Chain A
Amino acid sequence: MCSIEDSPIIFDEVKIKPEVKICIKCKTSTATILIRHSTYCKPCFQHVFVGKFRKNMEKYKTSNSKIDEKVMIGLSGGPSSRAMLHLLSEIFSHELSKKQSFTEVWVCHIDENSIFNLKDSTINQVEQIVQKYNSLFIGLRIEDIYSDEFTSNMEFGQVLKISIDKSKQQEFNEFNATIRQNKELSNKEKLQSLLECISNLTSKEDFVWYLKLSLLIQTARKKGCTRLFLGDCSTRLATKIISLTSKGRGSSLPIEILGENNYFGDVIISRPMKDMISKEIGLYNHYLGFETVFIPSLTSLQPSKSSIERLTEDFIVGLERDYPSTVSTIARTGSKLTISNSIDDENRCALCLMPYRNENKFFQNRITLTKIPSSISTTNDCNTATNNCNDHCNPVTVSCSQSCCSDCIKPTKLDHQNIEINNTLCHACRVNMRDINEIFLPPYVAEEAKRQNRRLDLRKNIEEFLIDDIDDDQ
C-alpha cells in the first residue's frame, strides 16, 4: 500500500531540477519557463507552442480537408479554447492571403450559467472577445437544446419523460419513457428539473457534456459547417481517457479523444490543442494578456471525490507535478486507439450520440453483479403506462419531409406516447439512468429514440427474410 507519507521521499529522488537556467532552444537567453524537463525563454516557448499547433493543423489539411470549408469553433471562453481561437484566427487570416480554404468561420459559445442559476450570461463576455477577430458569432444557452430547432428536422417538438417504474424496481434498467409535448415548462426549467433529478455529480456532468456536444454538432450542421474545432488540451484528454474508461465508455473513447474524427459524418471534429498541456496554455494566455472567462463547473469548489472526472483530474494533475511526463504518456497512448470496425453505424445512443453494441441490455445484465434497486420513489402523475401509442401517431417519422412532419406532429393531440428507450441507450448512459428519478430529455433524444425504434420494428418485421450475418460468416 502506498501512503501519502511516502511520496515526498520519492519526490526528491525523481524530480530532476534543471541546473543550468539557459533556454535549451536558443541557448543564449535565460530560461523563464520549465515545460516537462526542458527550459525555455519566452520567445522560444511561444515559437514552440505555435509550431505545435501549426503542425496539427497541417495534418488536418492533408488528410480530409475540403476546399471552401465552413468551420465552427467551439469556444467556452476557458483558457484552452481562448488560445485556440487566437491561433486559428492567425492561420485563417494567413490562409486568406494565399488561397481561401475556409470560407466562413463561426464561433459558437454555449452559456452554461443557467445550470447554476446565475443571472449573468457569459455570452456578452465571450462575444466581446470574438469581436476582436474576424469571425461570425453565435451565442447559445445550454437550455436551447430543448427547443425544436436542435433536432434533425428542426420541427420535432417533443420531449421524453422518463420515469423509473416502481413495479420494476428490481430491474433498474427497465424504465418507461413517455414522449409528450411539453409546453408548460420553459426550456430553462426543463433543464433545471433534469439536473435536479440526477442524484450524483458524475452523471450530471455527463449529461451536461453530452447536451453541449449535441448542441454544438446540431448548430454546426445548421450553419452548414463541416468541421468543428474543440479546444481539448492534452491534460484534459488524459483526464478524459481515464475517466471515460472508468465510466464504462471505453468503446466510444476514441471518438471523444482523437485529434480528428468523422464519426458524426457531415461534421468532422478536430482537436488542434491536443498536444499542449494546460500549463503551456496558461502561460501562453498570460504572456499574450488574454483574458479568459471563468466558467464555473459543477465541481467547482467541491471536494475532489465529488465526481469521477474531478477525481481523475486531481489524480493526473497531482501525478504530473512529480512525474512531468504523465499527461503526455497517457494522451499519446490514448491517441493510438482507433474506432472499432465492429461498430454498427446505426447503433447510436439517443442521448450521447456515441455507439453502443447490439443487445446492450443483455450485455449489461451479464457484466453487472448487483442490480441496484432504485431507492427513489416515482411520483405518480399523469404519465402512466396506459397511454399507449395510438395508431395515428405512427406517421410521425423523421425521414419524412419537414412539411409532412409539421402536418402530422402539430395537430397530434396525443401528449403521451410510450417509447422503448432501453434499447437506444449506450451502456454508460444506461448506468447513468440509475441516478435519475424522473426527467425530461430534450427533443433530439426523443427523435433519435423514435427513429431507432422504427428501425428495429422494421427489422423485426422483415427478420425472417434476412440472411443472418453470422451464418454467412460460418
Chain B
Amino acid sequence: MTQPLIKVNLFFSGGLEILFDNIKQKTVEISSSINPPNQTKMEDLIKWIRENLIKTKPELFMTGNTIRPGILILINDVDWEVEGELEYTIKDGDNIHFLSTLHGG
C-alpha cells in the first residue's frame, strides 16, 4: 500500500539558501510515512532534504542526525524546540522555515 503524500512548504533564509542553489522557498510533496510504519517526523524530513534538495556541502546543514547548531527551525511560526524537535510529526500544509543565524550563513 502506498502512503498518501503530504505537501510541505519549505523556506530557507539567513544565508542557508546558498546550499540550495539560492532557492528560498520550495513546496515539496513527501510521503506521509518515509520510514514506515511510523509517520514522517522532523528527523525524516531533515534527512529527506539532505538527500533530495541539498546541492552542496550537506555537512553545513546537518551534524550527526540533526540540524547543525545555529540553524533555527520554525514550524508554522512556532519554535521547533517547543514542538518536540526531531519528534515532531509533519502534517499536510506545514510551513517550515530554516533560518541560519550563523555568521556568513
**Which residue numbers of A lie inside 8 Å of B, CB to CB?**
18, 21, 31-34, 39, 42, 79, 235-236, 239, 278-279, 281-283, 286-287, 292, 294-301, 303, 309-310, 313-314, 317-318, 320-321
Q: Are B70 and A32 in contact (CB under 8 A)?
A: no
Q: Are A33 and B101 in contact (CB under 8 A)?
A: no
Cβ of B102 under 8 Å from chain A = yes
Nearest-neighbour CB distance to chain B for A51, whole angstroms, equals 19
Q: Kindly list chain B residues whose C-beta atoms are within 8 Å of the C-beta of A295.
A: 15, 104
User: Out of A32, A235, A296, A301, which one reaches B101, CB within 8 Å?
Assistant: A235
Cβ of B78 under 8 Å from chain A = yes
For the complex, what is the distance from the CA of A208 to the CA of B17, rounded to whole Å? 24
Q: Are B70 and A278 in contact (CB under 8 A)?
A: yes
The 5 A-B pairs with the shortest beta carbon distances in the complex, nearest first, are: A297-B104, A278-B101, A317-B70, A34-B81, A300-B104
Q: How many residues on chain B are close to A (CB under 8 Å)?
A: 26
User: Quick one: CB contact mask for B63-78 with A, threshold 8 Å, 1 for yes?
Assistant: 1000001101010011
**Which residue numbers of B lie inside 8 Å of A, CB to CB?**
13-15, 17-18, 56-57, 59-60, 63, 69-70, 72, 74, 77-79, 81-82, 97, 99, 101-105
Interface centre among A21, A42, A303, A321 (most CB of B within 10 A): A321
For the complex, what is the distance from the CA of A309 to the CA of B103, rounded to whole Å? 10
Q: Are B82 and A32 in contact (CB under 8 A)?
A: yes
Q: Kindly list chain B residues whose C-beta atoms are within 8 Å of the C-beta of A31.
A: 82
Q: Kindly list chain A residues whose C-beta atoms are within 8 Å of the C-beta of B14.
A: 79, 282, 292, 294
For the complex, what is the distance from the CA of A234 to the CA of B2, rounded to whole Å? 49
Can you sample 16 A-B contacts with CB below 8 Å?
A: A33-B79, A236-B103, A278-B102, A286-B77, A295-B15, A296-B15, A296-B18, A296-B105, A297-B104, A301-B56, A301-B57, A301-B105, A310-B103, A310-B104, A313-B70, A317-B70
Q: Kindly list chain A residues whose C-beta atoms are within 8 Å of the C-beta of B57.
A: 301
Nearest-neighbour CB distance to chain B for A16, whole angstroms, equals 11
Nearest-neighbour CB distance to chain A for B105, whole angstroms, equals 5
Q: Are A313 and B82 in contact (CB under 8 A)?
A: no
For the complex, what is the distance from the CA of A360 to the CA of B103, rounded to whole Å? 32
Which chain B residue lies CB-closest to A320? B69
User: Out of A34, A282, A317, which one reaches B69, CB within 8 Å?
Assistant: A317
Q: Are A321 and B104 in contact (CB under 8 A)?
A: no
Q: Are B82 and A294 in contact (CB under 8 A)?
A: no
User: Out of A34, A281, A317, which one reaches B102, CB within 8 Å?
Assistant: A317
For the complex, what is the distance from the CA of A318 to the CA of B18, rounded to whole Å? 21
Nearest-neighbour CB distance to chain B for A368, whole angstroms, equals 30
